[in-house]
Amino acid sequence: MFKVAVLALQGAFIEHEQVLQKLGVDTVEIRQLSDWQQGGWSALILPGGESTVQMRLLRELGLFEPIRQAIADGLPVLGTCAGMILLSDGYLGTMHIRVRRNAYGRQLGSFHTTGTVDGIGTDVPMTFIRAPYIEEILSDDCKAISTVDGHIVAARQGNQIATAFHPELDDDLRLHQLLIDMI
């Protein structure tokens, strides 16, 4: 049996753990470097939350480089909302995307819709909370897998999936299953 690590510095990490439990997958919370150094997981989730705070904590706790290197070496990862920002150019830089932060505005700009995600299907519930979107894909090895109103809201590059929305806040398990299927 394998485990999935969930970055648990700030944000919606518990909700990801609950989805993974529904799928029968054990989780481990990454809160400090010693958690990361124990290893033993097969994938990583970078949750929503506040990307500036998460990035500062990654650096302060010595997690930035080990996590960046593991992703660059092929560790399957799902980054949602702030996690998508962390994967992007200018942050961890493992995913060749440029992201517009808070693209849909403040909390009042939050919304819910359904859409299509390549590799998953149609009618995927999408909850956007002060969400970013992908302004630009910077290389041919990165592909948009979902758009909403002409904006890229999900992309995949190798073993990396990034979404502007929060799949952990809906009952649909397909995005998390896609991460598990990459293991």
Structure confidence by residue, pLDDT tens digits, 43-72: 999 999 999 999 999 999 999 999 999 999
One-letter identity of residue 70: A
Catalytic residue (one of 81, 96, 142, 176): 81
What is the tens place of the pLDDT at every residue in 69-100?
999 999 999 999 999 999 999 999 999 999 99
Q: Is 166 a catalytic residue?
A: yes
**What does the chain come to in residues?**
183
Q: Is 168 a catalytic residue?
A: yes
The three-state secondary structure class of 43 is strand
Please check the confidence at residue 33 and state whether its pLDDT lies above 80.
yes
Which long-range contacts (C-beta less than 8 Å, at least 24 apart) are formed by 29-34? 29/5, 30/5, 30/6, 30/63, 32/61, 32/63, 33/61, 33/62, 33/63, 33/66
Residues 6+ apart with CB under 8 A from 35: 28, 29
Q: Is 16 a catalytic residue?
A: no
Confidence of residue 106 (pLDDT cuts 50, 70, 90): low
Catalytic residue (one of 16, 96, 168, 176): 168
Catalytic residue (one of 16, 17, 142, 166): 166
The span from the CA of 50 to the CA of 26, in Å, is: 25
Please check the confidence at residue 108 and state whether its pLDDT lies above 60.
no
